[in-house]
Amino acid sequence: MNRRGTRTRRIGRAAGLCLAALAVIGLPAAVGWAGEQPVRGGTLRIGLYSDPNTLNCMESAGDPVQQNIITGIFDSLVVVDYKDSTVHPGLATKWKPLDDKTWLVTLRKGVQFHKGYGEMTAEDAAFTMNYIVKNKTNAYTYVTFVDRAEVVDRYTVKYTLTAPFAPFLVTSLFYGSGMVVSKKAFEERGFKAFNRDPVGTGPFEFVEWSPAAQIILKRFDKYWDRGKPYLDRIHYRIVPDAFVRLNMLKNGEIDMFTHPDFKDLKALQEDPRLVVASRAGHNFDFIAFNLKRKPFDNKKVRQAIAWAIDRKEIVDNVYYGHAT
């Protein structure tokens, strides 16, 4: 496909519906009980609509279920504030460009990996990026312009790009490609095993995955951000049917669920017992044309398709008004 010639037509989705108390694990869509204040300890029970494809951050390319879980297991080098796209320290404490294709990133000291795999170092960060680039994993979509990562010293990594790319920090050092795996754990366990039993630096440590049933995470007591997380455990229940998830919430079997149906949002928001928190998302749907194939090499054909799309109809009847 000729990427330069791609034409996109977008509809911004209603994104994240999430409880403020859960911001640390980045849940993008959720409904839960009103009136609850965050307290230390306890187990949070969450209903998910499906299993994730994998729990390996290097294979992450935006799957919402996977994102809900791995953002608890792994930390990113940087943290991006969705309100204004500002970049804040995560596993990295500072960064600077050396020239228009080279970045120097300084890592946080004393960050521990789960399961006794020791301190995170530049070797782990460089290994993660180079593995993604070399093997073109799913997270490669965020680093197509990265050439390599090199260890400068124990806590410093140098990233070299193939060409200047201004949003490098936001695109490549945040979420999937910006998370750091334990090189030792990955090499010991192998690719397939790591997909189902990951080792990260996040606030929660992986415990168990029973496909089509449940995933369990527990509090990581050596987490670098002292005092966090508040919860002892997170218990994900795999419940494909949104109606069943809602009934489980009302019956006290779960504390919240993710990804409610758009058609149900109005009723959920009007229920005084429930909290539905939302934020604008960066998601978009698009149509990409291969300009090397007829009739899509004809600009007028592409324009005709774009003009034929009734965006208001989609917003009103697919997203029930929760999109722009």
pLDDT value of position 320:
83
Q: Which residues of the chain have pLDDT under 50?
A: 1-29
**Domains parsed from the chain with CATH numbers:** 3-11+279-317 (no CATH), 74-202 (3.90.76.10)
Instruction: Supply the pLDDT for residue 194.
Output: 95
Task: Give the per-residue pLDDT at 218.
Answer: 98
- Exposure on the CB side of residue 167, measured as CA atoms within 13 A: 9
This prediction's pTM: 0.81
pLDDT at 132: 97
> What is the model's pLDDT at position 257?
87
Angle 269-28-3 (CA atoms, 0-180°, nearest 5)? 125
- What pLDDT was estimated at residue 258? 80
pLDDT of the residue at 32: 57
The pLDDT of residue 156 is 99
Q: What letter would DSSP give residue 143?
A: -
Phi, psi of 152 (to 5 degrees): -90, -50
What local confidence, expressed as pLDDT, does residue 25 receive?
32
**Residue 27 confidence (pLDDT):** 37
Residue-wise pLDDT for 173-201, tens only, equals 998 899 999 999 999 999 999 999 999 99
Q: What is the rounded CA–CA span in Å between residue 79 and residue 71?
A: 11
Q: Provide the pLDDT for residue 30.
A: 55
